[in-house]
């Protein structure tokens, strides 16, 4: 079993790369269908990458996401319209299976180790050794393979965590709704005709379960942000996630590349993780056609710019959420100038640079001049 490209991990990023590179071999440790804690909101830029790979999420029945709302108690609601291609609510149980099936992922085959040789990469799997011309590790957050390569970076600063669950409802109004509360945030996305996902994000202390266990804690946090969902039926397990962020020291060297969460994870609050990973897959699908040392160098530069942009957007979002007076001022400014929020979301998903935000947009975001 040999292949010009071996992709480790058949999540959305690995599967999409597999779809884009004919002849590649995608090896997945688990089997489908399988679930994964996620906010399940795919931004328009991610929908477009998949469209380019021949995956039509509208035709496959994934609900449209037409706007993103930011709200806080007592503050005006700021809403950005996603004009053009809508985002999609991607219930991971179905979405990951769809992509894996299209990419012909080989399930039940865990990769145990990688060894770079002058002419290729030796991929050690549960089923034997595979020879690869190049390897992309798309094995998710905190992959042991990244640790083995010595590319992990020590985590510093405050750690954040998540609790994720699904609820039966009328499916919401087609918007992602982010609720900023003083000690945690919630992120709601419509993921089915009668189902929404709600992720609760915050420091460990805010999310820690009491005597009633994880579900009781989830329900009490949910009720603070969405009282209308207090009695809604929870349709599956409540997942824990974190800690975040999980940066890496390096994303490529020689014939080995990292993509998706394996190439570093920031914070779920901005809901851009899958989109960023799909954009990495798209970049790599083109770059791997070049000679590999130059592809590795180009990917490092491109990834560094993407990471910096995402980190700054994430930083802004987290600053807003942690400071109630700033939250109120910023939401007031953004509610009065939705264009500023729309431009910020374009920057967040990589379809515009920071230059798209003019002085009036920054003034709205920071709400300068208002008392
Ligand atoms: C709480 C939370 C909320 C989020 N909300 C959003 C959101 O709203 N929108 C968004 O876009 N993103 C969101 N994200 C981020 C998103 O979930 C990830 O960015 C996305 O899953 C990354 O996809 P991936 O393919 O890189 O990794 P994964 O989806 O983790 O897939 C990795 C795959 O690799 C396999 N694997 C691991 N090790 C091996 C091995 N050794 N051999 C073979 N296979 C292996 C695993 O079994 C898995 O199937 C959220 C994340 C969290 C935690």
Among 6, 8, 11, 41, which residue has the most ligand 1 atoms within 8 Å of its CB, making it the best to mutate? Answer: 11
pLDDT band at 368 (very low <50, low <70, confident <90, very high): low
Percentage of the chain modeled with pLDDT above 70:
98
Q: State the distance from the centre of ligand 1 to the C-alpha of 261, rounded, in angstroms.
A: 6
Q: What is the pLDDT of residue 320?
A: 78
The pLDDT of residue 370 is above 80: no
Tell me how far apart the alpha carbons of residues 251 and 232 are, in angstroms, rounded to a whole number: 42
* End-to-end Cα separation, the chain, in angstroms: 67
SS (H, E, C) the chain: CEEEEEEECCCHHHHHHHHHCCCCEEECCCCCCCCCCCCCEECHHHHHHHHHCCCCCCCCCCCEECEEEEECCCCCCEEEECCCCCEEECCHHHHHHHHHHHHCCECCCCEEEEEEECCEEEEEECCEEEEEEEEEECCCCCCHHHHHHCCECCCCCCCEEEEEEEEECCCCCCEEEEEECCCCEEEEEEEECCEEEEEEEECHHHHCCECCHHHHHHHHHHHHHCHHHCCCCECCCCEEEEEECECECCCEECCEEECHHHHCECCHHHCCHHHHHHHHHHHHHHHCCCCHHHHHHHHHHHHHHHHHHHHHHHHHHHHHHHCHHHHHHHHHHHHHCHHHHHHHHHHHCCCCCHHHCCHHHHHHHHCCCCC
For 97, 139, 255, 262, the CA distances from 153, given in Å and listed in that order, are 31, 16, 20, 12
Q: State the distance from the centre of ligand 1 to the C-alpha of 131, rounded, in angstroms.
A: 25
Q: Which atom of ligand 1 is nearest to the CA of 12?
A: 25
User: Ligand 1 pocket, 287 CB below 6 A?
Assistant: no
Burial of 317 (0-12, 13-18, 19+ CB in 10 A): buried
Q: What is the pLDDT of residue 158?
A: 85
User: Ligand 1 pocket, 27 CB below 6 A?
Assistant: yes
User: Ligand 1 pocket, 12 CB below 6 A?
Assistant: yes
**Among positive and negative, which fits the CA dihedral 243, 247, 253, 259?**
positive
- Mean pLDDT for the stretch of residues 124-152: 96
User: Ligand 1 pocket, 190 CB below 6 A?
Assistant: no
The per-residue pLDDT for range 87-133, each reduced to its tens digit, is 999 999 999 999 999 999 999 999 999 999 999 999 999 999 999 99
Chain centroid to Cα 38, Å, comes to: 7
Give, in degrees to the nearest 5, the angle at Cα 188 between 183 and 190: 175
* Residue of the CA atom closest to atom 27 of ligand 1: 140
The domains found in the chain, sorted by start residue, are 2-63+85-156+245-314 (3.50.50.60), 160-244 (3.30.9.100), 320-366 (no CATH)
Tell me how far apart the alpha carbons of residues 117 and 301 are, in angstroms, rounded to a whole number: 24
Tell me how far apart the alpha carbons of residues 77 and 69 are, in angstroms, rounded to a whole number: 7
Tell me how far apart the alpha carbons of residues 70 and 75 are, in angstroms, rounded to a whole number: 10
The per-residue pLDDT for range 279-321, each reduced to its tens digit, is 999 999 999 988 999 999 999 999 999 999 999 999 888 887 7
Among 29, 144, 159, 246, which residue has the most ligand 1 atoms within 8 Å of its CB, making it the best to mutate? Answer: 29
Q: What is the pLDDT of residue 171?
A: 63
Burial of 8 (0-12, 13-18, 19+ CB in 10 A): buried
Q: Which atom of ligand 1 is nearest to the CA of 42?
A: 11
The pLDDT of residue 371 is above 60: no
The pLDDT of residue 216 is above 70: yes
Neighbours of 210 (CB within 10 A): 9
pLDDT band at 367 (very low <50, low <70, confident <90, very high): confident
Q: What is the pLDDT of residue 369?
A: 54
User: Ligand 1 pocket, 36 CB below 6 A?
Assistant: yes
Q: What is the pLDDT of residue 55?
A: 98
The per-residue pLDDT for range 244-287, each reduced to its tens digit, is 999 999 999 999 999 999 999 999 999 999 999 999 999 999 99
Q: What is the pLDDT of residue 283?
A: 98
- Mean pLDDT for the stretch of residues 31-45: 96
Neighbours of 74 (CB within 10 A): 9
The pLDDT of residue 25 is above 60: yes
For 66, 243, 362, the CA distances from 161, given in Å and listed in that order, are 27, 5, 29
User: Ligand 1 pocket, 162 CB below 6 A?
Assistant: yes
């Amino acid at each position: 079993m040999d292949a010009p490209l071996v992709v480790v991990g058949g999540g959305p990023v690995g599967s999409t790369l597999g779809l884009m590179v004919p002849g590649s071999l995608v090896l997945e440790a688990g089997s489908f269908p399988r679930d994964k804690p996620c906010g399940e909101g795919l931004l328009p830029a991610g929908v477009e990458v998949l469209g380019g790979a021949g995956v039509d999420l509208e035709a496959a029945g994934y609900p449209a996401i037409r706007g993103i709302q930011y709200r806080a108690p007592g503050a005006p609601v700021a809403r950005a319209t996603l004009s053009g291609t809508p985002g999609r609510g991607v219930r991971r149980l179905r979405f990951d299976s769809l992509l894996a099936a299209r990419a012909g992922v080989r399930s039940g085959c865990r990769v145990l180790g990688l060894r770079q040789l002058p002419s290729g990469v030796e991929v050690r799997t549960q089923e034997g050794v595979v020879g690869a011309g190049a390897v992309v590790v798309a094995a998710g957050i905190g992959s042991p393979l990244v640790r083995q390569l010595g590319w992990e970076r020590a985590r510093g600063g405050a750690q954040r965590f998540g609790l994720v669950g699904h609820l039966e409802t009328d499916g919401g109004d087609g918007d992602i709704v982010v609720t900023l509360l003083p000690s945690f945030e919630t992120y709601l996305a419509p993921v089915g005709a009668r189902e929404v996902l709600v992720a609760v994000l915050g420091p460990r202390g805010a999310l820690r379960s009491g005597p009633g266990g994880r579900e009781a804690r989830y329900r009490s946090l949910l009720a603070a942000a969405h009282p209308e969902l207090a009695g809604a039926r929870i349709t599956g397990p409540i997942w824990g996630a974190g800690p975040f962020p999980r940066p890496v020291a390096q994303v490529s060297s020689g014939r080995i590349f990292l993509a998706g969460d394996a190439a570093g994870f920031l914070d779920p609050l901005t809901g851009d993780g899958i989109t960023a990973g799909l954009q990495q897959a798209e970049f790599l699908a083109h770059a791997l056609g070049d000679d590999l040392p130059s592809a590795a160098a180009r990917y490092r530069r491109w990834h560094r710019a993407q990471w910096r942009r995402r980190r700054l957007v994430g930083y802004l979002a987290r600053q807003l959420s942690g400071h109630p007076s700033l939250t109120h001022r910023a939401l007031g400014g953004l509610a009065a100038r939705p264009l500023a929020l729309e431009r910020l979301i374009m920057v967040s998903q990589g379809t515009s640079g920071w230059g798209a935000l003019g002085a009036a947009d920054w003034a709205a975001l920071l709400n300068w001049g208002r008392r």
